[in-house]
Amino acid sequence: MAGYTPGQVLGGKTVALGSLLLGAVDSSGVAWTIGKDGLQGWDSPDVRTQYSDRQADHGSWAGPAYLAARVITLAGTITAPDLVTLDTAMDQLAAAAALTDTLLVVGETIPRQCTVRRSGRVLMQPVTDRIATYSVMVTAADPRRYSTVLQSQSTGLPSVTGGLTLPVTMPVTITATTASGQFTLTNAGTVATRPVLTVTGPVATPTILAQLPDGSVTQLTYSDTLNSGDVLVIDCDAHSVVLNGQASRRRYLSGTWPEIPAGSSAVFQWSSPGYDPSAMLAGTCRAAWL
């Protein structure tokens, strides 16, 4: 098709809805243009809050404020080499706007992503036998925009090896080696993010601490035992605790779900009454923006 080259980026921003890339020309020569107002809702979600009028006084009492789900509308033009290719492209768009969780990635200076589902009609209107307009509404239940880069850190249980106490006085130092049992996760974004913590056994009743730069500490304690090969996934956003990918163990976890503040970091450390060199704690997170 004259004027378009496969792989060409149309404008300065692309939007990937699953495997479909908007704002570029695909391998079939279809140009997926994003309109001037074709990315609505990406700037900010709505806010949920309540105000109660003050009796016999000016103003209101403000309740807690929370971000609502992020509603995003994608709109633009599809330009194809011929009618058959245009029909195929419209089918691809309808399939990409799935009713199940779909990754949406916006190609900004810092690429960011969220997980969306179709939340309205997929509107497609043919203009000619090669051109059609489109409008798709999707909703991210989690309104935060996350970095496409996943941070990942891990550590074994803390331990001390080596070192020796001698019943003599000499200018001799025999140093012990300490395994710290901790790691740091950083959030470069503008809103707090929540990690996923994974504990691999064998380990008994592990305790996980998260320390913030201001010195405050949160603690999670798992009151059961993990055998060799057991994997416990603690999702601090979903508030779920899953053993070996299938069994909920939420009832064994107590404490406070940790968050990593905006523009800050948290140091995670853990301990157990017993020690096994195979036990492992891993943590992952993504920087988050409003």
7 in any annotated domain: no
The tens digit of pLDDT for each residue in 65-91 reads 999 999 999 999 999 999 999 999 999
> Do 166 and 260 reside in the same domain of the chain?
yes
Quick check: is 4 in a domain? Answer: no
CATH at residue 170: 2.60.120.860
CA-to-CA dists, residue 13 to 49, 94, 125, 137, 146, angstroms: 33, 21, 23, 18, 17
Q: How many domains does the chain have?
A: 2
Query: What pLDDT, on the 0 to 100 scale, is given for residue 272?
Result: 96
pLDDT classification of 210: cutoffs 50, 70, 90: very high
Do residues 284 and 155 share a domain?
yes
Could you tell me the two tokens for 48?
A: 């949920």
Same domain, 198 and 184: yes
Q: Are residues 166 and 101 in the same domain?
A: no
The stretch 232-248 carries a mean pLDDT of 97
Dmax of the chain from CA atoms? 95
pTM: 0.87
First to last CA, the chain: 40
Measured distance CA(249)–CA(234) in Å, rounded: 9
The token duo for 183 is: 């790691």
Give the integer Cα–Cα distance in Å for 222 and 62. Answer: 37
Tokens coding 94: 């309808």
Question: Which of 104-113, 172-181, 200-209 bottoms out in mean pLDDT, i.e. has the lowest?
Answer: 172-181
Confidence band of 168 (pLDDT split at 50, 70, 90): low
Q: Are residues 234 and 160 in the same domain?
A: yes
Three-class SS of 213-259? CCCCEEEEEECCEECCCCEEEEECCCCEEEECCCEECHHHEEECCCC
Same domain (yes/no): 141, 162: no
Indicate if 127 and 163 belong to the same structural domain: no
Indicate the SS3 state at residue 97.
coil
Mean pLDDT lowest among 92-96, 110-114, 179-183: 179-183
Strands 51-53 and 15-17: unpaired
Which residue range is the domain that position 137 belongs to? Answer: 15-51+64-147
Give the end of a domain, one of 126, 147, 168: 147
Q: What stretches of 82-235 show up as alpha helix (H) in DSSP?
A: 83-96
End residue of a domain, out of 147, 178, 203: 147
Mean pLDDT of 273-281: 95
Q: Report yes or no: 124 and 238 within 8 Å, Cβ to Cβ.
A: no
Whether the CB-CB separation of 249 and 257 falls below 8 Å is answered with no
Looking at 92, 118, 147, the residue that finishes a domain is 147
What's the pLDDT at 164? 46
CATH number for position 106:
2.40.30.200
Which tens digits make up the pLDDT trace of 140-166? 999 999 999 999 999 999 975 544 454
